[in-house]
Structure 1
Amino acid sequence: MIPLVLATIFFVGIHFVISGSRLRDTLVARLGESRFRAGFSLLSIFGLWWLAHAYRAAPYIETWGQLGWFKPAALLLMLPAFLFATLGTTPANPTAVGGAAPTAQTARGILRITRHPFLWGVALWAATHLIANGDAASLVLFGSLLLLAVGGTYAIDDKRLRMYGEDWEKYSLATSNLPFLAIIQKRNTLVPGEIGGWRPALALVLYLAMLHFHKGLFGVSPLF
């Protein structure tokens, strides 16, 4: 379990301490944006490999155990998780790496629902797996990824505010971090036609593929 905890500290730490703080600004000023991204990408890939390896090697220590009754709910929750994560790859997303500058025109499509669709997809995926697995290793892994995804939305907001200033403040007024909040507060409106068709279709294909291959890849069937 100790290697998993160390891998978690490393992966979460590089995101909050390096990428999500003013240290990033200092490193970018010294190295340049492209070199920083390349170096941080290598650290992230290593961190993901370490996490996966440590999780597979961790002993099974039951907490609340696998919840059979939760499987139908997990199947339902994973579909919007795939949708958010897939739709969040739009190049017009100002919160994405290398995304567009924040303007009123970029607060469209899935960004009307949340300006952090990818991270909320990860958060929903992590929360679902945390509840469904019910063991200590899963609590460490998925709990840390849930913390990183939700905390990352605030860290990115702070980073974009430092980068764009007043333009970001105007953009954030037209969007919301929490999904659907800007729509509920009538600061934006839902326009399904802006989302398009191929990205939701891709999300559905990926979702169905994961249902099919999940047991072969991870040893556990998500089906009943």
Structure 2
Amino acid sequence: MRDPLVRWLGTQRFTSLYSLAAAVALGWLAYAYSRAPFVPVWTPPAGMAWLTILVNVLACLLVAIGATTPGPTSVGSERRALSPEDPAPGIYRVTRHPVMWGVALWALAHLLVNGDGASMMLFGGLIVLALGGMAHIDQKRARLLGAAWGPVQLTTSAIPFRALLSGRTRMDWAGIGIWRPLGGVALFLALTAAHPWLAGVTALPQ
């Protein structure tokens, strides 16, 4: 269904409409979550809030760095995989799906401190969506790029650090730079400051 729509609307228009639909769906999920009754399922262990902070920092770093680095799996940069110089720069040496991993970790962080049914469905669903999205993106890139996708798969990994630990690539600190991690820290601080307004509770340990 996607390919006929892309041919009919054009890539840019399809991407814009798809992003709008995704934003509306997420907004509806957030509204439904805020209205859902509290049904306790399990009690998070004491001290879990500090682990949540750490996981959230990692999530924000991955999202900020990944979203600002053109790579073979980022939206609009599909042809980056054809680059003879560096098809997977910066954070893509760690994982070729940095933003998806950021979303998954963000959802996991919220599961660690929320043991009610609505939270488990919302954040658990986001984890499944993010992990499944990685496989779906890989399939789309393989179909779009054909043989050019092979070298990207060989020099990157969906699982973080797997390609680095196996010696298939080297860390590209220059491709990450300084301002991207600082942007991730700024994103974390902004979300933490806005958390009482967005969720009605502080994100900091009490």
TM above 0.5, one fold?
A: yes
- Structure 1: gaps of 5 or more residues: 1-22
How big is the shift at 1:194? 2.4
CA contact (8 A) 1:67 1:133 kept: no
Distance 2:173 2:16 in 1: 36
CA contact (8 A) 2:96 2:157 kept: yes
Which stretch of structure 1 is more off in the superposition, 158-167 or 58-67? 58-67
Which residue type is aligned with residue 113 of structure 1? V
How big is the shift at 1:76? 1.0
Given candidates 44, 62, 66, the residue that maps to 1:84 is: 62
1:71 aligns with 49
SS at 2:67 equivalent: coil
SS at 2:92 equivalent: helix
How big is the shift at 1:66? 4.1
SS at 2:204 equivalent: coil
Which residue type is aligned with residue 110 of structure 1? I
How big is the shift at 1:43? 1.6
Given candidates 121, 130, 141, the residue that maps to 2:122 is: 141
1:174-213 matches, within 5 Å, as 174-213=155-194
2:109 aligns with 128
Which stretch of structure 1 is more off in the superposition, 201-210 or 36-45? 36-45
Aligned-residue RMSD, C-alpha: 1.5
1:172 aligns with 153
Distance 2:184 2:87 in 1: 22
Q: Relative to structure 1, is the Cα distance of residues 192 and 67 closer, same or farther in structure 2, using a 3 angstrom cutoff?
A: same
Given candidates 87, 96, 110, the residue that maps to 1:106 is: 87
Given candidates 21, 41, 45, the residue that maps to 2:19 is: 41
CA contact (8 A) 1:74 1:128 kept: yes
- Structure 2: gaps of 5 or more residues: none
Which residue type is aligned with residue 124 of structure 2? G
Distance 2:124 2:33 in 1: 13
Number of residue equivalences? 202
How big is the shift at 1:150? 0.7
- Using the aligned pairs only, state the percent identity: 42
